[in-house]
A = this chain, B = another copy of it.
Amino acid sequence: MDTYEELLARLKDIDLIGQIGGLISWDQEVLMPPKAASLRAEQLAWVSKAGHERLTDQKIGELLTQLESDDGLDEVGLANVRLARESYDRATKLPTGFVEEMAKHRSRAQISWTEARSKDDFSIFRDDLAKAIELARKKADYLGYEDLRYDALLDLYETGLTVARVDPLFAGLRDKVAPLIRAVMESGRRPDTSWIDDNSWPQPAQEQLSQGVAEAIGFDFNAGRRDASTHPFCGGPNPDDVRWTTRYNESDPFGSLYGSMHETGHGTYEQGRRRDLDFQPAGQANGLGVHESQSRLWENQVGRSREFCEWALPLWKKCFPENTEEIGVEELWQAVNLVEPSLIRVEADEATYNLHIMIRYEIEKMLIGGSLEVDDLPDAWDDMYEEFLGIRAPNRALGVLQDIHWSMGAFGYFPTYTLGNLYAAQLLEAARGELPEHDLQISRGDFVPLLSWMREHVHSRGSILKPAQLIEEATGAAPSPDAFVRYLGSKIERLYGIKA
Interface residues of chain A, those whose CB is within 8 Å of chain B, are 13, 16-17, 19-20, 23-24, 27, 31-36, 38-40, 42-43, 46-47, 50, 220-225, 237-238, 240-241, 278
Contacts and interface: CB of A to CB of B under 8 A. Distances in A.
Given A16-B46, A24-B20, A27-B27, A39 B223 contact: no
Contact of A43 (B27, B40, B223, B237): B237
- Of A43, A50, A221, A225, most buried by chain B (CB within 10 Å of CB) is A43
A221 B16 contact: no
A447 B109 CA distance: 44
Given A16-B46, A27-B23, A35 B220 contact: yes
Contacts of A238: 36, 39
A240 B41 CA distance: 12
Contacts of A43: 16, 19-20, 23, 237
A46 B33 contact: no
Nearest to A238: B39
A42 B27 contact: no
SS class of chain A's interface: helix, strand, loop or mixed? helix
Contact of A33 (B31, B42, B240): B240
A280 to B, nearest CB: 14
A203 B265 CA distance: 35
30 contacts: A13-B46, A16-B42, A16-B43, A16-B46, A17-B46, A19-B43, A20-B20, A23-B23, A23-B24, A23-B27, A27-B27, A31-B225, A32-B241, A33-B221, A33-B223, A33-B224, A33-B225, A33-B240, A34-B222, A35-B220, A35-B222, A35-B223, A35-B241, A36-B238, A38-B240, A39-B237, A39-B238, A39-B240, A39-B278, A40-B237
A33 B237 contact: no
A241 B46 contact: no
Nearest to A220: B35
Contact of A46 (B20, B27, B278): B20
Contacts of A225: 31, 33
A43 B42 CA distance: 19
A224 B36 CA distance: 8
Given A23-B24, A33-B223, A39-B240, 11 more contacts: A16-B42, A19-B43, A20-B24, A24-B24, A33-B221, A36-B237, A36-B240, A36-B241, A39-B237, A39-B238, A40-B237
Contact of A241 (B19, B20, B33): B33
A32 B16 CA distance: 17
A35 B224 CA distance: 8
Contacts of A13: 46
Contacts of A222: 33-35
A38 B223 CA distance: 12
Most chain-B Cβ atoms within 10 A of its Cβ — which of A23, A47, A220?
A23
A282 B241 CA distance: 36
A43 B23 CA distance: 10
Nearest to A34: B222
Contacts of A47: 20
Contacts of A36: 223, 237-238, 240-241
Contacts of A241: 32-33, 35-36, 39-40
